[in-house]
Each structure stands twice: as C-alpha cells, then as structure tokens.
Amino acid sequence: MAVGTTADFDLTRNELIDIAYSLIGVAEVSNSDRALAVQMLNSLVRHLDARGDWLWTIDNTETTLTTVSGTQEYSTGAAATDIATNILKLSYAAVLINNDREELDILDKPSSLRTDLQDESNNQPIEVYLERAKLLADNKMLLYPTPNAAYSVVYKYRRPLYDFDGASDNPDFPGTFILPLQKLLAAELAPHFGIPLQERQLLMAQGSEQFRAAAAFESDPPAYSSLQTEYY
C-alpha cells in the first residue's frame, strides 16, 4: 500500500472561510458573509499574534543599523541609519567593535524610563529600547548612552504574523495550525448566524485545545499564552 511523500498541505484564505462556514451549517456563502469572515479572520490573526513568540517569525538574518554621532533615536525607513519597518519585538542586539560583538541590554518600558544612561551622551551604547507605536512603521529605537560615533548595531527581531490580504493567501502559520484556525474562525462567526451557545462553546473548546497542541509543538513553550474565552 502506497503512502504520500509530501507534508505540505495548506489552504487558501477563501478555502479556510468556506470550511469554517460549513462547520456552522452555512452552505451558501454570500459576498457579505465572506467579507465578514475576512474581517473576523484577520482580527483572529492579530489576537493570536500576541499569544506566543512564534519561531517562524524570528529571522536568523541580522539587520544592521548605522548610528549617527549625537543621535539617540532612530526611526523606520530604508536608509542605513533607519530601522526595519516591521519590528514587533527585539530578540537580540549588539554593537560590532573590531569584529567583536558587545551585546546590548534590551530594555522594557519601565527600565527605559529608569535607566541612568538616557541622559548620557558621547559614549558607546550598551542599552537599547524599542519604542513601540500603534503602527509598526512609526516605531523608534533608542540607544543609551547616545552614540558618540558611527557604530554598527546588529539586531534580530520578531515580525508580526501576516494578514490574509488576498483570497488566495495561505495562513502565516505552519500546517499544524490549519485545523484549529478553522474551528476558531467558525466559533467567532457562529453568533452572527444564531448558533446556540452550547455549540459555540464546543467549537471554541475544540479549536482552543487544538491550538494549544500546535503551539506547544511550534513555539517556545514558556512564551505561549493559552486562549481565555468568554461566552455570551
């Protein structure tokens, strides 16, 4: 008996939506139904983005920032003195000095407000803070102390999960997440179609359990946050 030789099964955005609707008994999907599902699906992706440090969103390739003497704050852009436009979270940063790396301390918000180095200038940076904005393109990177020369700062970061922008887009998740995405989307759509609470709870419970199993396999376990759901 022959078995398959591939492990690359995937679904497009519209295929995923059609399956989610079939799980709640909607056979004919109108244009307005599909538009609602696209909104709910992308809202779900944004919500799930906060649930773990997904390994496939952290690139091992380093990005380089060239500092400017006397400049503490760096904006996004395409120049050598700009930072990447899609940084969700810094994973690593270091200053290159004579082919050696001097790792920077990555600060959180409270630490960035308390650091004694924020007002110090004319020195080599030893701390870095990513000032997150509502839009990632408006992020700022701050270096402490303020650089006194043109240093090469290399960094790695986690990008956000990508939205479903087109009908043929595939999920920005490994294949292990396809099944829970179907169930979770169905559970989110169900209230709009009068599905009883008990059935919605069952869909959400199944999707959440399947998502937990996929997340445990595909992410760093300590970084994963389980789904907490309220029912109405």
Which tens digit of pLDDT belongs to each residue from 182-192? 999 999 999 99
Nearest to 153 by CA among 133, 128, 132: 128
Residue 128 β-bridge partners: 106, 143
Residue 20, judged by CB atoms within 10 A of its CB (0-12, 13-18, 19+), counts as buried
| Mean pLDDT to the nearest integer, 157-169 | 97
Residue 73 β-bridge partners: 142
User: Does 136 reside within a domain?
Assistant: yes
Q: Could you give the number of structural domains in the chain? A: 2
Rounded Cα distance between 208 and 6, Å, is 27
What Rg value do the Cα atoms of the chain yield, rounded? 22
- Torsion angle of alpha carbons 27, 33, 37, 40, nearest 10°? -130
DSSP 165: -
User: Does 142 reside within a domain?
Assistant: yes
Q: Residue 95 — pLDDT band, cuts 50, 70, 90?
A: very high
Same domain, 42 and 71: no
Same domain, 174 and 136: no
Same domain, 50 and 105: no
Rounded Cα distance between 208 and 141, Å, is 35
Task: Write out pLDDT tens, residues 108-158.
Answer: 999 999 999 989 988 999 999 999 999 999 999 999 999 999 999 999 999
Same domain, 96 and 132: yes
Hey, what are 6's tokens? 């591939």
Hey, what are 89's tokens? 């979270």
Same domain, 78 and 148: yes
Rounded Cα distance between 149 and 163, Å, is 39
User: Does 229 reside within a domain?
Assistant: no
User: Does 119 reside within a domain?
Assistant: yes
Same domain, 23 and 113: no
Rounded Cα distance between 51 and 179, Å, is 17
Same domain, 153 and 207: no
- Report the predicted TM-score, pTM, of the whole model to 2 decimal places: 0.87
* Residue span of the structural domain in which 49 resides: 13-54+162-223
Residue ending a domain, among 120, 143, 158, is: 158
What's the sign of the alpha-carbon dihedral 68, 71, 72, 73?
A: negative
Q: Residue 232 — pLDDT band, cuts 50, 70, 90?
A: very low
User: Does 7 reside within a domain?
Assistant: no
Rounded Cα distance between 53 and 89, Å, is 9
Q: What is the mean pLDDT of the chain?
A: 93
Instruction: Name, in order, each residue with C-beta under 8 angstroms of 87's C-beta and a sequence gap of 6 or more.
Output: 76, 130, 136, 139, 141, 157, 158, 159
Residues of the chain with pLDDT > 90, as a percent, come to 86
Same domain, 69 and 151: yes
Rounded Cα distance between 120 and 110, Å, is 18
